Amino acid sequence: MHIKELFSLKKKIILVTGGAGNYGRCIVEGLAEADGKVITASRNLSTNEAFVQELKERGLDVHALPLDQGDPASIKALKIAIEKQFGALHVFVNNAVARPMATYDAPMETFAESMRVNATGMVDLMREMTALIVASGGGSIVNIASMMGMFGPDLSNYEGTSMTQSPPPDYYFHNAGLINLTRYWARMMAGKNVRVNCVSPGGLFNHQPEQFLKNYTKKVPLGRMANNDDIKGLMVLLASEAGAYINGENILMDGGLNA
Ligand SMILES: NC(=O)c1ccc[n+]([C@@H]2O[C@H](COP(=O)([O-])OP(=O)(O)OC[C@H]3O[C@@H](n4cnc5c(N)ncnc54)[C@H](O)[C@@H]3O)[C@@H](O)[C@H]2O)c1
């Protein structure tokens, strides 16, 4: 196959959860620019629809659907809506994240709420979307975890800022779980033509306080945080035929911070 064809997402129906969030926007944009038909699903339908409208004006094939990842009925409804409106699913980017827990010592209820969405809801969603992909003849699942699922927090990044020096434990727990769940899922999909991979990004530039940026970027060999384009190529690789023999992998994308 020609290399341009290998990287093309033409005729691929792609779901990105949390597609109007910080990394989600970059992922949706990249997959749509590579000619995919991209559905973005999240709780906040008006933000989602405004983002979709923005991309449609640029001629991209993007659609919005509602999803509450913590609600099994909403997950079922999303599956039915994709079947009805699009007839298939080829790529699932598991990107949404709820952040109900703020600090190390936040109430345990906030940890439980995080697990409800980021663990229980996520596995429910993965099972339903996997069933759709299998019924569509196979495809690719890309889990978005974090470098924080691979390493402990570096508290020195917050020195001299008013940002919390007490990162919440739930985020480290569920992202680490997602990395190994990727390996589990890849093995469970043996013989079904479904590849399952994970991307563990580093911090995305989002106008963080100057002192934080200084603390963080001096440790990164590339000297900067991730920008909005950095994740696009990796997503297209993993979603397309160009990544056809990459399976069960976790790719750290942190500019060399943890090298
Ligand atoms: N932003 C970063 O610097 C960074 C760094 C490393 C990894 N990540 C990873 O990237 C992914 C996206 O993170 P982000 O920073 O873009 O997050 P974000 O907070 O900007 O966006 C999260 C998205 O998830 C959606 N969401 C939250 N709860 C939901 C629910 N119950 N049902 C459906 N959708 C729900 C939100 O509506 C939003 O669209 C996460 O997996 C995160 O771990 C982010």
Full residue range of the structural domain in which residue 53 is found: 3-253
Nearest protein Cα to ligand 1, atom 27: 98
Mean pLDDT (10-residue bins), the chain, 259 residues: 97 98 98 98 94 98 98 98 98 98 97 98 98 98 98 96 92 98 99 98 97 98 98 98 98 98
Is any ligand 1 atom within 6 A of the Cβ of residue 95?
yes
- The tokens for 158 are 């917050």
pLDDT score, position 165: 86
Is any ligand 1 atom within 6 A of the Cβ of residue 177?
no
H helices of 146-217, where? 169-188, 210-217
pLDDT score, position 120: 98
Using an 8 Å Cβ cutoff, are 16 and 43 in contact? no
Is any ligand 1 atom within 6 A of the Cβ of residue 69?
yes
Q: Which atom of ligand 1 is nearest to the CA of 71?
A: 31
73: burial class by Cβ within 10 Å (0-12, 13-18, 19+)? exposed
214 domain-assigned = yes
Distance 68 CA to ligand 1 centre (A): 13
pLDDT score, position 230: 98
- Among 39, 42, 95, 97, name the best residue to mutate to test ligand 1's pocket (greatest count of ligand atoms within 8 A of Cβ): 97
pLDDT score, position 20: 96
pLDDT score, position 164: 83
**pTM (2 d.p.):** 0.98
pLDDT score, position 212: 97
259 domain-assigned = no
93 domain-assigned = yes
27 domain-assigned = yes
- The tokens for 223 are 């000297």
25 domain-assigned = yes
Q: How far apart are CA 14 and CA 235, in angstroms?
A: 11
- The tokens for 131 are 């069933």
Amino acid at 243: G
Is any ligand 1 atom within 6 A of the Cβ of residue 68?
yes
How many separate domains does the chain show?
1
pLDDT score, position 62: 98
61 domain-assigned = yes
Distance 45 CA to ligand 1 centre (A): 15
Nearest protein Cα to ligand 1, atom 8: 146
Q: Which atom of ligand 1 is nearest to the CA of 24?
A: 16
Q: How far apart are CA 166 and CA 159, in angstroms?
A: 12
200 domain-assigned = yes
Distance 60 CA to ligand 1 centre (A): 22
Burial per residue of 219-239, b for 16 or more beta-carbon CB atoms within 10 angstroms, e otherwise: ebeeeebbebebbbebbbbbb
pLDDT score, position 4: 96
258 domain-assigned = no
Q: What is the CATH number of the domain that holds 240?
A: 3.40.50.720
